[in-house]
């Protein structure tokens, strides 16, 4: 979608069936991340359209996201690099904890910052062309968009360290086995499968979706006792909602629940 009739937007947003499909629109750069990319992600997830119940992330031109656009990389002082990294963390937190379920359709390059974005989403669907990689060590730099936490949570610190030290990449089936993706599909099928999953998730009760998004990763960072207490609070809150009442009615009446108007 042109911006003021001149510059193409970095993100293209399409709305259908209360699902927002957000397409990274820098195909000539394999959807590499620059400051405008992060600013538009920030703008979308800070104030998503009101009639959206779930989001699909995808990349134009056969690649999800090839990571940091090194051609536009700026030399900064160390403290400015810290602020830059912390801003990425803030935007990735908006993706993971903003409240909307986010499904990623993964194709081609899912590299560096692209893998950090994918890891912040809640459901990941991968095509045969996918390549997961954290090549920062080969560039003399270190990850800064949350990989040590989010990708480390998926792989474990030992495998993450080996991945970064060697620059190795994983394909579709390896990524599925390691948890970098949740679904493997055929060529050209990731977007439609991701949209189908988003529609299915959007039919859940809004508050239970919210609790699953917010509670589960936080419990993983707690002691067992604290996690179990947090689980009890989430369960108690969910069971007092209209969604819980509708779920029980639907079960007793032997029909699918209708959580949304």
Over its length of 261 residues, how does the chain's per-residue pLDDT go in tens digits?
444 445 568 999 999 999 999 999 999 999 999 999 999 999 999 999 999 999 999 999 999 999 998 877 677 899 999 999 999 999 999 999 999 999 999 999 999 999 999 999 999 999 999 999 999 989 899 999 999 999 999 999 999 999 999 999 999 999 999 999 999 999 999 999 999 999 999 999 999 999 999 999 999 999 999 999 999 999 999 998 888 888 888 888 888 888 875
* Total count of domains within the chain: 2
Q: Is residue 210 part of a domain?
A: yes
* Start-to-end CA span in the chain (Å): 30
pLDDT at site 261: 59
Annotation says 206 is catalytic:
no
Task: Go through 158-185 and write b for each residue having 16 or more CB atoms within 10 A of its CB, e for each that does not.
Answer: eebeebbeeeebbebeebbebebbebbb
Q: Is residue 258 part of a domain?
A: no
Annotation says 246 is catalytic:
no
Q: How far is C-alpha 159 from the geometric centre of its chain's CA atoms?
A: 21
Note down the domain range covering 211.
206-252
Q: Is residue 7 part of a domain?
A: yes
Given 179, 202, 225, the domain boundary residue is 202
DSSP tag of 131: E
Q: Give the dihedral of Cα atoms 67, 73, 77, 80; nearest 10 deg.
A: -50
pLDDT at site 3: 43
Among 136, 173, 174, 206, the active-site one is: 136
Same domain for 181 and 85, yes or no, is yes
Same domain for 94 and 213, yes or no, is no
Q: Is residue 247 part of a domain?
A: yes
Among 39, 40, 116, 231, the active-site one is: 116
């Amino acid at each position: 979608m042109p911006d003021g009739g001149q510059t193409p937007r970095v993100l293209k947003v399409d709305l259908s069936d209360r699902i927002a499909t957000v397409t990274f629109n820098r195909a000539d750069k394999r959807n590499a991340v620059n400051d405008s990319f992060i600013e538009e992600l920030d703008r979308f997830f800070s104030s998503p359209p009101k009639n959206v119940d779930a989001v699909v992330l995808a990349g134009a031109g056969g690649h999800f996201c090839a990571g940091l656009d090194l051609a536009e990389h700026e030399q900064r002082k160390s403290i400015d690099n810290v602020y830059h990294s912390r801003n990425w963390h803030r935007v990735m937190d908006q993706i993971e904890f903003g409240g909307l379920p986010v499904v990623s359709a993964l194709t081609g390059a899912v590299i560096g910052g692209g893998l950090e974005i994918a890891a912040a989403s809640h459901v990941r669907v991968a095509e045969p062309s996918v390549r997961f990689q954290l090549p920062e060590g080969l560039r003399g730099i270190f990850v800064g968009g949350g990989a040590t936490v989010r990708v480390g949570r998926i792989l474990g610190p030992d495998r993450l360290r080996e991945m970064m030290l060697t620059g190795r990449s994983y394909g579709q089936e390896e990524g599925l086995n390691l948890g970098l993706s949740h679904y493997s599909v055929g060529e050209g099928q990731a977007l439609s499968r991701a949209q189908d999953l988003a529609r299915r998730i959007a039919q859940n009760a809004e508050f239970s979706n919210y609790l699953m998004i917010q509670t589960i990763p936080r419990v993983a960072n707690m002691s067992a006792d604290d996690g179990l207490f947090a689980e009890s609070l989430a369960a108690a809150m969910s069971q007092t909602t209209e969604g819980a009442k509708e779920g029980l009615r639907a079960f007793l009446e032997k029909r699918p629940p209708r959580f949304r108007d």
